[in-house]
């Protein structure tokens, strides 16, 4: 029997706004939220485009002042997405677990949390001398006591994860993964397995991207996410790919997964079904990235018990780097053969959302299937265009299956099969 897990709650926060509707409407309009980032903090970098989220008031999330300071904006995004997804699934936050049978599992992907400059600036200024030098003895004797005592907690990912769990009463099976796209894929798989193994009555899969800062830009440039290329219009190096800005976006996504029969018995609206998943890691000894993507895709389709010809929509990873995009196209060519499905890519609209990316793409795929409409894909191009159709328009009514691909750091690849009912 194929797997059929119901997605009963969904939400996301992107540069387009809070909620799935805001992101979907923006995507359908063809808008890209990637803009040249004029933050003075980034003055030392070549020009870079980012897609930032609007600030979220922590009081609107029910956080008191102390909790808000410990959590920080990075966790606000995650808390907003998870709380909205639970509400969408008809689950009252804070009343989630009264018995073992009612516990909700929670698996999330969180990026590295960078310290806020204002937390440290007074301590650094204390050691500066009138002659322009620095006295580290003064830093330790007078500067360090000026650092907020809870500051070390604010930069630990488990603290943010725990804050969300406590705030929403999520006390079931749980796991925290970091830092990139592979962490978001892992969160989806672990949530699905928790339901399959009857360890929870429902499970939340969530992920949040990085907070845009000089530290995160430097970190992901070093890891190869931001590639330096020549912009022929400007004549100066920028962190772009051959087609579109391979840049960072802020955002979060969350999905509530439940057994299909339970969801139907409770009369819950079902957004769609998660029917299969697969993962594989690229190793030179086993054929590299192309083989890993192909294997992950095969495993997802085999679990779903559907043939490649039934796939009506493919949401590509579409990171914009030539090696990744070429490998993805080669893998899809091997899997799809002569079948030419519709396609969607989202990173040129909202930036690379890292741990939130697989969850956001999965929810957008389900929305596209439900609406029988494929939004436009800003920046789409390259080898994948020879295999699939990246254009806006209605889908065939009989097209009910989607394939969602992701590629993480270190060649960690995943694929998800989804359908609507």
Tokens 């929305």 sit on residue: 367
Q: Which of 117, 116, 119, 94 is nearest to 104 (CA)?
A: 94
Measure the CA–CA gap between 100 and 119, rounded to whole angstroms: 41
Integer-rounded Cα radius of gyration of the chain:
22
Q: Which of 78, 103, 106, 258 is nearest to 174 (CA)?
A: 106
pLDDT of residue 154: 62
Per-residue pLDDT of the chain (421 residues; tens, 9 = 90+): 567 899 999 999 999 999 999 999 999 999 899 888 888 888 877 778 889 999 999 888 888 877 777 777 888 999 999 999 999 999 986 654 444 445 899 999 998 777 666 666 666 677 777 676 777 777 777 777 777 666 666 667 778 888 899 889 998 999 999 888 999 999 999 999 999 999 999 999 999 998 888 888 888 887 777 654 434 343 333 333 333 335 789 999 999 999 999 999 999 999 999 999 999 998 755 668 899 999 999 999 999 999 998 999 999 987 666 777 888 888 988 998 888 888 898 988 999 999 999 999 999 999 999 999 999 887 766 666 766 777 777 776 666 899 999 998 888 999 999 999 8
pLDDT of residue 381: 64
pLDDT of residue 95: 53
Q: What is this structure's pTM?
A: 0.87
Measure the CA–CA gap between 323 and 107, rounded to whole angstroms: 30
pLDDT of residue 389: 74
CB 312 within 8 A of CB 399: yes
Q: What angle do CA 346, 183, 22 make, to 5 degrees?
A: 35
Q: Which domains does the chain have, with CATH numbers?
A: 5-116+151-265 (3.40.47.10), 117-146 (no CATH), 273-419 (3.40.47.10)
The residue length of the chain stands at 421
Measure the CA–CA gap between 370 and 85, rounded to whole angstroms: 18
Q: Which residues does residue 276 pair with via DSSP β-bridges, in sequence order? A: 417
Q: Which of 383, 254, 372 is nearest to 313 (CA)?
A: 372
Q: Which of 398, 387, 390 is nearest to 27 (CA)?
A: 390
pLDDT of residue 236: 36
Structure token pair of residue 154: 């604010």
pLDDT of residue 239: 34
CB 418 within 8 A of CB 365: yes
* Alpha-helical segments (H) within 197-254: 214-222
CB atoms within 10 A of CB 121: 11
């Amino acid at each position: 029997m194929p797997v059929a897990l119901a997605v009963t709650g969904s939400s996301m926060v992107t540069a387009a706004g809070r909620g799935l509707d805001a992101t979907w409407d923006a995507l359908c309009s063809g808008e890209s939220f990637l803009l040249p980032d004029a933050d003075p903090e980034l003055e030392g970098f070549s020009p870079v485009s980012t897609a930032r989220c609007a600030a979220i008031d922590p009081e609107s999330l029910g956080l008191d002042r102390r909790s808000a300071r410990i959590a920080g904006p990075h966790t606000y995004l995650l808390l907003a997405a998870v709380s909205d997804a639970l509400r969408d699934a008809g689950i009252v936050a804070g009343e989630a677990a009264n018995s073992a049978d009612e516990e909700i599992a929670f698996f999330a992907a969180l990026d590295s949390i960078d310290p806020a400059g204002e937390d440290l600036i007074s301590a650094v200024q204390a050691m500066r001398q009138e002659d322009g030098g620095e006295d580290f003895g003064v830093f330790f004797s007078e500067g360090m006591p000026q650092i907020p005592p809870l500051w070390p907690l604010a930069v630990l990912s488990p603290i943010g994860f725990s804050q969300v769990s406590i705030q929403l009463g999520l006390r079931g099976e749980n796991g925290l993964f970091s830092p990139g796209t592979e962490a978001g894929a892992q969160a989806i798989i672990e949530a699905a397995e928790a339901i399959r193994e009857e360890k929870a009555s429902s499970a939340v899969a969530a992920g949040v991207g990085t907070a845009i800062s000089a530290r995160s830009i430097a970190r992901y440039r070093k890891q190869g996410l931001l590639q330096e290329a020549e912009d022929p219009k400007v004549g100066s190096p920028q962190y772009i790919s051959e087609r579109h800005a391979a840049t960072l976006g802020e955002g979060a996504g969350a999905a509530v997964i439940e057994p299909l029969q339970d969801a139907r018995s409770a009369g819950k609206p079902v957004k769609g079904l998660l029917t299969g998943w697969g993962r594989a890691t690229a190793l030179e000894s086993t054929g590299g990235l192309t083989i890993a993507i192909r294997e992950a895709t095969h495993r997802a389709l085999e679990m779903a018990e559907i043939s490649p010809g039934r796939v009506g929509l493919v949401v590509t990873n579409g990171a914009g780097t030539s090696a990744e995009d070429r490998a993805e196209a080669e893998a899809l060519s091997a899997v799809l053969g002569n079948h030419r499905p519709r396609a969607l890519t989202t990173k040129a609209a909202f930036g690379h959302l890292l741990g939130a990316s697989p969850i956001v793409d999965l929810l957008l795929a389900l929305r596209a299937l439900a609406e029988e409409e494929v939004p436009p894909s800003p920046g789409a191009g390259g080898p994948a265009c020879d295999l699939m159709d990246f254009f806006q328009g209605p889908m065939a009514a009989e097209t009910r299956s989607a394939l969602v691909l992701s590629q993480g750091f270190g060649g960690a690849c995943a694929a998800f099969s989804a359908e609507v009912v």
